[in-house]
């Protein structure tokens, strides 16, 4: 069971009497060292896997947050586009209404003619006297 090279090394190190127990102890130490290294590697892999899962979860959350923010930005832009369109329509209505207004105040002659056509005395006609 004990390898011969290990037995010969133990014999040279401590003599015949303690060679076999030292060889057994060396084998046990070697097996324990291999087990220790294996456990450490498994722990490191498990820790790396856990870290990768955490990073993936963080990435998923950030992607979901970016998607929510993108939807909010799109909704805000659509709202602004709609309000801009409403504002443009109002401006066009105001422009159309002001285009129909005369550029200057009507003359007295035009006011007199309008008052005669209306056949009543609106406030604008109150100060005018027919000539």
SS3 helix, strand, coil % of the chain, rounded to 5? 80, 0, 20
Does the residue 51 lie in any domain?
yes
Does the residue 116 lie in any domain?
no
b/e map 3-28, b = 16+ CB within 10 Å: eeebbeebbeeeeeeebeebbeebee
Does the residue 119 lie in any domain?
no
* Cβ(7)–Cβ(20) below 8 Å: yes
| C-alpha span between 20 and 2 (Å, rounded) | 8
Domain of 89, in residue numbers:
4-101
Does the residue 32 lie in any domain?
yes
pLDDT in tens for each of the 131 residues of the chain?
A: 667 776 677 777 777 777 777 777 888 898 999 999 999 999 999 999 999 999 999 999 999 999 999 999 998 888 888 888 888 888 888 888 887 777 777 777 887 787 777 766 666 666 665 55
Instruction: List Cα–Cα distances, 121 to 37, 104, 112, 117, 130, in angstroms.
Output: 111, 22, 10, 10, 12
Does the residue 53 lie in any domain?
yes
What pLDDT was estimated at residue 56?
Answer: 95
Does the residue 49 lie in any domain?
yes
Does the residue 131 lie in any domain?
no
* Cβ(125)–Cβ(111) below 8 Å: yes
Q: What is the pTM of this model?
A: 0.42
Q: How many domains does the chain have?
A: 1
Does the residue 87 lie in any domain?
yes
Enumerate long-range contacts of 3-11, CB under 8 Å, 24 or more apart: 3/27
What pLDDT was estimated at residue 129?
Answer: 58
């Amino acid at each position: 069971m004990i390898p011969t090279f290990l037995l010969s090394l133990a014999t040279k190190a401590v003599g015949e009497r303690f060679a076999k127990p030292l060889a057994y102890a060396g084998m046990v130490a070697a097996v324990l060292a291999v087990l220790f290294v294996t456990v450490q590697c498994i722990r490191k892999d498990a820790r790396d896997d856990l870290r990768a899962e955490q990073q993936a979860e963080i990435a998923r959350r950030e992607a979901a947050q970016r998607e929510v923010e993108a939807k909010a930005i799109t909704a805000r832009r659509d709202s602004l586009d709609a309000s801009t369109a409403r504002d443009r329509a109002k401006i066009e209505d105001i422009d159309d209404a002001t285009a129909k207004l005369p550029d200057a105040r009507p003359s007295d002659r035009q006011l007199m003619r309008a008052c005669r056509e209306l056949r009543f005395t609106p406030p604008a006609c109150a100060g005018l006297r027919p000539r």
